[in-house]
Amino acid sequence: MKVALLSFAHVHAATYIQLLRDRSDIELIVTDPDAEPGDPTRGKTLADELGVTYCADYEEALAERPRAVIITSENTRHRHLVERAAAAGAHILCEKPLATTEEDARAMIDACEQAGVSLMTAYPVRFHPAFTALRHSTTDGSLGRLLSVHGVNNSSPPALERSWFTDPALSGGGAIIDHTVHIADLIDVLLDGEQPTHVYAVANEHLSPAHDGAAGGVETAGLITLTYPRGLVTTIDCSWSHPATHPTWGGLTLTCVTERALVEFDAFPPLLTGYDTPHATPRWEPAATDLDAAMLNSFLKAARTGQRAHPDGHAGLRTLRIVLAAYESLRTGQPATITAA
């Protein structure tokens, strides 16, 4: 099956390429025409380093008639590429957040539905077997009602690798738009798509000052409180709080309080921590399932069979509406209301 990856802008692009390039069932083609000339981390230079077939631009890549397309561009460019890929008849996996405006997200969903192709949002943590167990334990009734959820998604500032993450014209915002969506999606699964009624957000820019080159006027730390119709309250810590010297890129945890128990989920628990010698370099070996590989397998299966891919574009829209409400709350200093879709 022919698969095209459009843009290397996102930090996950190289990971997806490495997972797909050696598969005997995949013919992978890639393109990154928006890369700055001479950038060794993007464009044909990176494609050659990774040993994959490179196309000069999006037109050339889509002219190859790929059955599946993976979009890893800057956030505000998602809509344009999704619409082009859908028009070419490709099933689509789009990096999160799905879009930066509700209008764009709905247009992307409509384009894919009209073209008869799947639109999947890149939420790999859904595929963690421990999250599957968490969902079962909190929804089978054995632990009583779910009372609250506290989610944490922290990392080093992604602008350390890709400066566009702190350019609102390309990213749509900072840590809130980057990290809220992963936790919001897991809560969305636990609550079967129920939307909150009110969203309250606080944020600051203190963790990565602009003079470090890691921030440029966007929020780098945030805390969001969500209230649901059933009375449940959840919180999301979505901060870029890890320093560049931290031994891991990031981490994601959920703490669920039920009537009878407290249930915790750690998506990336360390298997081994310590220091290499002789330079005392921090060492960390992950114990988790390769979530990106699991997500790609699910997407490719859906593309082959024509089945609907999950999490779909509607899941991406629901989480985006939470992000947009959080930014509205930041603007007003008051809780923002989410109306029924």
Q: What is the pLDDT of residue 213?
A: 45
The pTM for the full model equals 0.93
pLDDT of 211: 40
Instruction: Report CA Rg, the chain.
Output: 20
Share of the chain above pLDDT 90, in %: 80
Measured in whole angstroms, the distance separating CA 223 from the mean position of its chain's CA atoms is 18
Q: What is the pLDDT of residue 268?
A: 85
- The pLDDT of residue 19 is 97
Give the H/E segment covering residue 105.
helix 102-115
Query: What number is the average pLDDT over the span 120-146?
Result: 94
Asked whether residue 116 carries a pLDDT value surpassing 80, the answer given is: yes
Q: What is the DSSP letter of 45?
A: H
User: What separation, in Å, do the N-terminal and C-terminal C-alpha atoms of the chain show?
Assistant: 36
Query: Is the pLDDT confidence value at 316 over 70?
Result: yes
Largest CA distance in the chain: 59
Q: How far is CA 338 from CA 26, 186, 235, 266, in A?
A: 42, 18, 16, 29
What DSSP string runs through 128-179? Answer: -HHHHHHHHHHHSSTT--EEEEEEEEEES-GGGT-GGGG-HHHHSSSHHHHH
Separation between Cα atoms, residue 219 and residue 288, nearest integer Å: 29
Instruction: Tell me what the mean pLDDT of segment 254-267 comes to.
Output: 95
pLDDT, tens digit, 9 for 90 and up, residues 48-57: 999 999 999 9
Which whole number is the average pLDDT over 250-276?
85
